[in-house]
Chains A and B, each alone.
Chain A
């Protein structure tokens, strides 16, 4: 099952600050919904634990997060992969930055693929849940990057 997302949002931080935040796994990863822990493996690699649940099917998943900074300072991107319950998922996400006034417009794209038992068992439930989780991630990033605005404005 493959799901593609995209969108944009505006934050009050400058492009440089926004890039610095997004390109730091230790700051970026906690914005992932159901974030549990992070273990930094290298300058661009981290192991992140998140909780995953579809209905009564619950578990935790380890994600290997790899930063792609080849587009610096205008674009931060991550490739991730993880496994859960005999299944697996992969994702690629990128954030392209564009200066606007005092802040930054972030154009983002995401591509999530899921494999195995979770797809077989949870099937059609996954798409709305994945959509909700992406919205939560974007909302969290917006909140972190617009510290002067009220939290949770989006989502």
Chain B
């Protein structure tokens, strides 16, 4: 019996539906202190002075912390960018200048959260306001400098060029020029805010209980910043209330809490972010502007070349973001056969919230751009949306992209056909024609996208050849506990993706037992010795990186168990089989009742080992396995190499009606087809698709981080940011195909990010609805006021020109 491919009830649910999860804020150790973070109201201001005396005198306050103290006690966080941007000084608390609204400027540590907050308001900060930089384009002008230590706002710039772009333009039948496109700021805003409990013990170790979702990376950043050895830091997570990449960066607050704990004499310090703080300062998805795009096409509407200029606005501190300058190139041609590409890519700091990875990170922005490109070309050349995609899709796999990435498998035409069937394409086309006759604005849009998983960290060296990162890895530790229980520890620290369940399915299959007999530890714990520098949950890598580590650990454990059992049962290893007997999981001699159960095996090794012969001395029944995908360091000069192991794909179709009077976009029908290779747990896969679809639709229609002209975030509460609710979520018709990956042991591909498919799809449907009105969809956000505005003016003539030869 195989458990992989089935959907057993999730192990995680038993505690979560009972309200017995353990989220960070649920830690209520008596005597712990509470941290409040005072934040800059200004987007950009010099900090002339800070007076904490009134706060420190407030009853119940133990101590405070300012940026000046942080700068004395810490080293700045490691910078990923090369050149001048490497000079950026990034501390957990602003030292002498606040660079975005909501940036921490001081912290208070007190007996209760209320006292800490009350005292925080007594801190007097004298600011000198500076002009803010509020877009990537403005940043590149370098008129106002965000980081004087760098002397420029430019984080990184280079050209990605492949093929013979100019020749392809010379030979083109059509050239479509698009003036400007813009991918907006939003984030998936996990419902649980960032949180941590830190204890700088008197022994000099630092214990973190937190919800960081990339502990391997956090450890590497925290240790040098706090000037302690890596072994002094123990990071532990349990249940995490969603991350979507956002919780990768919260080591900032872990640092502040740890310093507060040390200053308070080693008392535990807890910090739980409130929503307003989360929206203001806890990381926004990155915002990208696409300028001067030119597309060459042949007479059939096949894209032959593309040239463009892309600018990332990474907010006030680059942190993880320089990697965003290369990660998009994992999907440089999107789903299309395009071979000649020149993209000038730059990234600038601004006085907005720092950008952080967010579901679909960096690839999503580029894939949205590519979908806008093909969609606009289709409309301008009069080729239907499905037809122009079919003419351009990649069809033969594995497929090497112009920059050396290898798309493992896929079948985009089959997904399109399935999605068209699900939504009733022809019927909607007929309804659309009727609606248009009545003057109604009905659009049908297609979005094809990729979710690349298990990335090669070597791509970081394309940004900065000196970065000590390449490849990828994940760990699994599997052991028979003293009573014979199968106990598995992972390095992934999941945040709702069901790793305990999926792991138990794989282990159950390998050992011939049931998932209920496999105990997968919850969360992450540095003391389990089950992590590497890549450990975490991000970039759609668990199904391959995580589960291959699990699979390999099972093989190693089984080999030890077989050797031991063969001796105990006086049989050869070939005669043994794994299974479940009357006394639980066992190894038995095939076709007989001679068996040893797991308790007996464990007992012989762990408690009763005088009987163990010397040649079994290396049998520990406690195995640590590291999986390393087969990557090489890319050619950093040519920006060429395999950047990702697997490419899941999604194809969505939306039908949207736009209200002429208000600009409101209503989704009338929606279909989503997913291909993530072999599905380990189809129910979890479908759940991820629905969830990613919700995020994308919310982002396309409702959610945006909107700044005013002086750097105030206007959408800093949920009431303004308006995450998608049960009332706004359309019914989704879900379909699934499987093109197994040839590069993973199980045919699976990483998945879960969804590639931003709804953003591409909603934009395409809006385009289809409004093209006849002389409108080009330039932005990924479609709020009624913005749509209304563009409908009033029209923009096609300003935005697009077509040369036909």
Contacts and interface: CB of A to CB of B under 8 A. Distances in A.
Interface of A: 1-2, 81, 83, 86-88, 90, 113-117, 119-121, 123
Interface string B694-715: 0000000000000011111110
A117 B41 contact: yes
Contact of A119 (B39, B129, B714): B714
A87 B711 CA distance: 13
A114 B41 CA distance: 9
A120 B713 contact: yes
Given A1-B712, A2-B709, A81-B127, A121 B717 contact: yes
Given A2-B708, A2-B709, A81-B129, A86 B714 contact: no
Given A83-B125, A115-B41, A121-B717, 8 more contacts: A2-B709, A81-B127, A113-B129, A115-B711, A116-B101, A120-B712, A120-B720, A123-B714
B710 A115 contact: yes
B231 interface: no
Contacts of A1: 708, 710, 712
B253 interface: no
Nearest to A123: B714
B127 A88 contact: yes
Contacts of A88: 41-42, 127
B478 to A, nearest CB: 49
Given A86-B41, A121-B717, A114 B712 contact: yes
A83 B712 contact: no
Contacts of B129: 81, 90, 113
B716 A86 contact: no
B712 A116 contact: yes
B276 interface: yes
Contacts, number: 46
Instruction: State which size class the interface on B falls in.
Output: 20 to 34
Contacts of A113: 129, 710
Contacts of B708: 1-2, 119
Given A2-B708, A88-B127, A115 B121 contact: no
Contact of B121 (A2, A86, A123): A86
Interface in B227-278: 276
Contacts of B276: 117, 120
B717 A120 contact: yes
Contacts of A119: 708, 712, 714
A16 B540 CA distance: 74
Contacts of A123: 714, 720
A115 B42 contact: yes
B670 to A, nearest CB: 32
In this complex, the member of A83, A90, A120, A121 whose beta carbon has the largest number of chain B beta carbons within 10 angstroms is: A120
Contacts of B717: 120-121
A123 B716 CA distance: 11
- Interface core residue of B39, B101, B720 (most chain A CB under 10 Å): B101
A86 B42 contact: no
A118 to B, nearest CB: 9
Nearest to A87: B41
B41 A116 contact: yes
A30 B529 CA distance: 68
Interface in B123-180: 125, 127, 129
A78 to B, nearest CB: 15
Contacts of A81: 127, 129
30 contacts: A1-B708, A1-B710, A1-B712, A2-B710, A81-B129, A83-B125, A86-B41, A86-B121, A87-B41, A88-B42, A90-B129, A113-B129, A114-B712, A115-B41, A115-B42, A115-B43, A115-B101, A115-B710, A115-B711, A115-B712, A116-B41, A116-B712, A117-B41, A119-B708, A120-B276, A120-B712, A120-B716, A121-B717, A123-B714, A123-B720
Nearest to B125: A83
Contacts of A2: 708-710
B51 to A, nearest CB: 13
A63 to B, nearest CB: 13
Nearest to B708: A1
A117 B43 CA distance: 13
A76 B43 CA distance: 29
A119 B127 CA distance: 18
A56 to B, nearest CB: 16
B87 to A, nearest CB: 28
B38 to A, nearest CB: 8
Contacts of A83: 41, 125
A21 B268 CA distance: 57
Interface in B654-669: none
A120 B41 contact: no
A120 B705 CA distance: 12
B657 to A, nearest CB: 29
Nearest to A88: B41
A83 B129 CA distance: 13
A82 B717 CA distance: 23
A87 B127 CA distance: 12
A113 B127 CA distance: 14
A63 B458 CA distance: 53
The 7 closest A-B pairs by CB, nearest first: A116-B41, A88-B41, A115-B41, A120-B716, A87-B41, A119-B712, A2-B710
B762 to A, nearest CB: 26
Contacts of B709: 2
Contacts of B710: 1-2, 113, 115
Contacts of B720: 120, 123
Contacts of A116: 41, 101, 712
Nearest to B43: A115
A152 B687 CA distance: 66
Contacts of B125: 83
Contacts of B714: 119-120, 123
Contacts of B121: 86
Interface string B97-136: 0000100000000000000000001000101010000000
